[in-house]
A = this chain, B = another copy of it.
């Protein structure tokens, strides 16, 4: 029964309720008076209730009309606001974006977040931290829209945009033979237990990053697997072994650990921003800075 009610009915009703005069209301609506009378009558028939008490001399709201008036006004107001909001979301001025990131990229991420929040103050950013593999899986699954990852392999359904790169350095215990040196050969680490991420967390990245060690003849066997750089470095500091790490995570080393540059061509670790290749939503484009 109320399936046939249209917004036109509400707009007309409000005009008449405001003016309490069909002629003036029709003028305001830029239609002729008979059309207005007709539509009001139709609305009343549709909802089965008289909204106005009319004589040829006066028009008054009935109780039902008076009760409906503020609600109709509210409805139209809401609709206008909702349409406006939809427009803003469509233009990427408002909405929500989900971002997955690896914890070792917090610094670079937070810089971008600050800049983004300044440009899009009405966008709600939801953050999800995890390892590179998890972030990429979430990206594929749609849980996140943008992923900040490290050393991911090229894929044909994902766009990768380099954000930053940094060299790998060795981290050794303070009492290690090379601890005092400016730089060391990879071979100098061959005898020590290696503490690193599990290879399964990113086989490609693992292989690329450990290539210099292998080239130097080191048999890359991870003696101790650990999934957090700071934990890995704490292990090194307590003398459990050595590691190689991106420069930034060696920024503030604990007491028992020393950073040593690696000789030879530097291995780079790349922090990448990943998006679904099919994804051209304005918020995503805005975040990755394509516009």
Which A residues contact B (CB, under 8 angstroms)? 2-3, 5-8, 11, 47-51, 62-65, 67-68, 71-72, 75, 78-80, 82-83, 85-87, 89-91, 94-95, 281-283
Q: A80 to chain B: which residues have CB within 8 Å?
A: 2
Measured in the bound complex, the distance between the Cα atoms of B263 and A264 in whole Å is 129
B63 touches A82 (CB 8 A): no
* With contact pairs A47-B86, A50-B90, A86-B47 given, residues A5 and B64 touching in the complex (Cβ less than 8 Å): no
Pick from B63, B86, B95: contact of A282, CB under 8 Å: B63
Of A63, A65, A94, A282, chain B has the most CB atoms within 10 Å of the CB of A63
A89 touches B72 (CB 8 A): no
Q: A8 to chain B: which residues have CB within 8 Å?
A: 6
Q: A7 to chain B: which residues have CB within 8 Å?
A: 5-7
* With contact pairs A79-B2, A95-B63 given, residues A87 and B48 touching in the complex (Cβ less than 8 Å): yes
Of A80, A82, A85, A91, chain B has the most CB atoms within 10 Å of the CB of A82
| Listed A/B pairs (19) with beta-carbon separation below 8 Å | A2-B80, A3-B11, A47-B83, A47-B86, A49-B87, A51-B86, A63-B95, A63-B283, A64-B86, A64-B87, A64-B90, A68-B83, A68-B85, A68-B86, A68-B89, A71-B85, A72-B82, A75-B75, A75-B79
